[in-house]
Amino acid sequence: MEALIKEKLSKLMEYLGYLTTLKETPLETFAADFKARGAAERYMHMAIETVIDIGNEIISALQLRRPERYRDIPHILAEAGVIPSDFADEIAKMIGFRNLLVHDYAAIDRALEHEFLQTRLVDFKKFMKYIIEWLKTRPFKG
């Protein structure tokens, strides 16, 4: 399980690298460039899905309560001491943004997507840091 989580963290780092490159795109260019928007949407979605996958792996490995919806995952991780409680709220918001990407993609506000790129990428870095720290203190057996 630890190897799987580390592999997912590696993919998350890859997606974050792509998103960081897109972050440099000014809003006007971003809004007009379908390739930049499409790439940003896809990598945001994949990065958030990876956060969800990592959370689910930890929940399963620790035999924690099952989430009823994706937004429950960060709160369950916080209850187990994997991530801080206040940070769980931020990850839950990120998962909410994923729902926009997946279900309301036709109505997504380009400025909102661009704002996500400008302000929320740090949350992925924090998440990775918390998971890596947690893995060091509570490695999986088997």
| Dihedral sign for Cα atoms in the order 122, 125, 129, 135 | positive
Q: Looking at per-residue confidence, does 140 or 50 come out higher?
A: 50
Give residue 88's pLDDT: 98
77-131 pLDDT, tens digit each: 999 999 999 999 999 999 999 988 888 767 788 898 999 999 999 999 999 999 9
Stated length of the chain: 142
DSSP 8-class letter at 105: G
Q: What long-range pairs does 32-37 form, CB within 8 A, spacing at least 24?
A: 37/110, 37/113
Tokens of 103: 């279900």
Percent above pLDDT 70 for the chain: 96
**Collapsed DSSP state (helix, strand, coil) of residue 118:** helix
Q: Write the single-letter amino acid at 87.
A: F
pLDDT greater than 70 at residue 72: yes
pLDDT value at position 12?
Answer: 98
**Mean per-residue pLDDT, 17-22:** 96
Burial 63-90 (b: 16+ CB within 10 A, else e): ebeebeebbbbbbbbbeeebbeeebbeb
For residue 53, give every residue at least 6 positions away whose Cβ sits within 8 Å of its Cβ, in sequence order, or none: 8
Which pLDDT does position 104 carry in this prediction?
77
Amino acid present at 20? T
DSSP code of residue 33: -
pLDDT band at 1 (very low <50, low <70, confident <90, very high): confident
CATH code linked to domain 2-137: 1.20.120.580
Quick one: pLDDT band at residue 140, thresholds 50, 70, 90? low
Q: What is the pTM of this model?
A: 0.93
